[in-house]
Structure formats: C-alpha cells, structure tokens
Amino acid sequence: MKRRTLESATSHVPEISTPYRVLIYSTKEYDKLSFDTKVKDLKQPEKYEIHYTHERLSKDSAKNANGYECICIFVNDDGSREVLEKLKQIGVKLIVLRCAGYNNIDLKAAEEFAIEIGYVPSYSPNAIAEHAVALVMALNRRLHRAYDRVRNGDFRLDGLVGFDMNGKTVGVLGTGRIGQFTIRIFRGFGCRVLAYDIYKMQDDDRHALGFEYAELDDIYAQADILSIHLPLDHKTKHMINARTIDKMKKGIILVNTARGGLIDSKALLDALKSGQVAGAGLDVYEYEHKYFSHDFSSTVIEDDVLLQLLSYPNVILTAHQAFLTQEALCSIAKTTLENIYSFMTSGKVLNVPKT
C-alpha cells in the first residue's frame, strides 16, 4: 500500500492509504450488487478496494476492521462507545452509515475518538412512504388474511370488512422528507391530514401538500390512522406509550416505519388486545437488532413481545424493508461512496449527522 501524496493537502486532509480500503459490514447480496455497480461509475474506481462481510459490527467483529481506515455500517450495527473505542485503536478514521437514521452510533464518542461519521440523509424517501401506506392498506383491506384464505381455497369474505380511505383523518408525525411523501399519498386517497413537527413547513409548501399542523393531543383524538416519521432520540423514545395511546381515537391504525424505539411495544400489545388500537403496521421493532435480517424459522424466538405481535391477526410486521427498492439501493451506494471520496480527498464528509 502506498501513502497518498499530500502535495496539496492541508492539515485537515487525513493521511489515507490508497487504494481506499473500505469494509462493508452487514452485507447482503443486494448491497454488494449496488456497491459493485456504483463504484464502477466513479472517476477512479481503481482507487477503491471494497471488501464485504456478512457480519454485523459488534464488539467482537470490530477487530475485522484492522487494516481499514473506513468502514460502512447499517441500521442494526453496533456503534456504541465500546465498539468505537476498539475501532479507534485499530486505526479506523471514517464510519459511513448507509442509512438515514444514526441512532445506533454514539456521536459524542465518535467525536472524542476523532472518528468521522457520514450518513445518507435522503434516498428515495418516497420508498418508505409507499411502504407505510402499503401497510395501512394491507391492514385496512385485510390483504394478509385474504391472501392466506384464498390460497387455502377459502373464498369467504367474513372478517375481511375494511373502510373507505376517502374522508378519513390521518395523523402524520414528522413532516420531513418521508413524512411529506406520506402526506402526498394519503391526500391522493382523499384523506384529511393533520401533522406534527417541531419545525413547521412554510405555509406555501404546506398549502401545496394540503395538510394542517395540529398539536399531538388533537391528532391523537382525531386520527383514524397514525403514521410515524420521526427520528429516534431521547425526546422521541417511547413517545407512543400507554398514556398517549389512551388519548387516541378507539380503533386507530398505527403505522411505524421510522424506528422501533418510538413505540413502547408492551403498551402497543395491550392496546391491540383491548381494541384501542385496531391494527399495527410495523416495519421496525424496538428490539429488532437481534432478529431482523436473520433466519429464525427453525429456531425458538425468545422475545415474547415479538412473538405475540407476530401472532396477532391485526398486526403486519415487515423486517425493516421499507427502504428496499432498487432505486433506493443505488442512491444509498452512490451517496455512501461520495461521502467516502469527499473524506479521502478533502478530509470532510459530505453528509454529517446533526448532533
């Protein structure tokens, strides 16, 4: 490995070896395909040496990053202080998250250890919105149950009664990139949308989308459907809990494609049992890191809450797949490689998480 010439470098430019060796953790075949494809589009693809591992980043697998100055991780990789410290010791200078959320990385510790962090703020936000609405529609029209029935030759319709979307009130928590697409789709159904966000959109933009801002309690009281599009942080953790669920209109449909920790799962179970919540569409789950992306079909699942959720007919759970479209994967790979290139050449990451 030769060191990059630093003739035009300032003190901010890190000394990075060429080729840029990158280790991609938690790799699935579709990640490999999108990164292998996108790296060829770069000006000097030969400058990159990308290695893949199926392993998740953890305190045990951190040592595999020895010899890499950059690693790439995903939503359920462990970016805790303990892991970052190990990475620092073996010379990792840059961690790029190939996702929009960064709740799994200790940003304070990263700063302390002088490890730069990059992420992908936006990639097909519509993909996540489309999945959220798909969950609502599947729950409403009982598609999961209808699918099973007709495959078994049971063509009865009892128990499959849904409701019109037109005229229903939808609460959207978070009017950022994904929330806005979600609003647009629900408005297309003829729904009335009430939304909540700490930062309000400009009136003109809001009018164009055709929704109103409202206080959380008013949304809870009026919404027939609630779709969550907020980041997970100390303020939003368990914001959907027994107390807030109690304020909701009885029979609400709850959809979470954001982060599992936004919902207190036990409180949700109780509400599903009592009928306070009529249905839940979950693409994320509080303790998903142990199970999601793995095959547990021949193993005993020890998480009782997850087991109960899976057993309820009014719950549809997908394993964090809302992002999973071809377009999103291409966009994720492109932005991630741009983050790496920018750091390697200027010492600055293009997309840095907000602290």
Chain positions contacting ligand NAD, by CB under 6 A: 100-101, 125, 128, 174-179, 197-199, 229-232, 235-236, 257-259, 283-284, 320, 322-323
Q: Give the SS3 label for residue 317.
A: strand
Q: How far apart are CA 129 and CA 227, in angstroms?
A: 9
Query: Cβ of residue 228: shortest distance to ligand NAD, in angstroms?
Result: 8
Q: Which residues are catalytic?
A: 259, 288, 320
Report long-range pairs for 285-293 (Cβ below 8 Å, ≥24 apart): 285/260, 285/309, 285/317, 286/260, 286/261, 287/260, 288/76, 288/260, 288/319, 288/320, 289/76, 289/78, 291/319, 292/76, 292/319, 292/320, 293/26, 293/28, 293/76, 293/319, 293/320
Q: Closest residue to ligand NAD, Cβ-based?
A: 176
Nearer to ligand NAD, 146 or 319 (CB): 319
Residue of 260, 268, 263 whose CA lies nearest to 286: 260
Nearer to ligand NAD, 97 or 344 (CB): 97
Q: How far apart are CA 22 and CA 302, in angstroms?
A: 35
Nearer to ligand NAD, 48 or 196 (CB): 196
Nearer to ligand NAD, 73 or 344 (CB): 73
Nearer to ligand NAD, 70 or 100 (CB): 100
Nearer to ligand NAD, 140 or 331 (CB): 331
Query: Cβ of residue 343: shortest distance to ligand NAD, in angstroms?
Result: 22
Query: Cβ of residue 288: shortest distance to ligand NAD, in angstroms?
Result: 10
Residue 216 one-letter amino acid: L
Query: Cβ of residue 75: shortest distance to ligand NAD, in angstroms?
Result: 8
Query: Cβ of residue 287: shortest distance to ligand NAD, in angstroms?
Result: 16
Question: DSSP string spanning 114-174?
Answer: T-EEE----S-HHHHHHHHHHHHHHHHTTHHHHHHHHHTT----TT------TT-EEEEE-
For 326, how many CA atoms within 13 A lie in the half-sphere containing its CB? 1
Q: How far apart are CA 135 and CA 121, in angstroms?
A: 23
Phi and psi dihedrals of 81, rounded to 5? -50, -45
Query: Cβ of residue 354: shortest distance to ligand NAD, in angstroms?
Result: 8
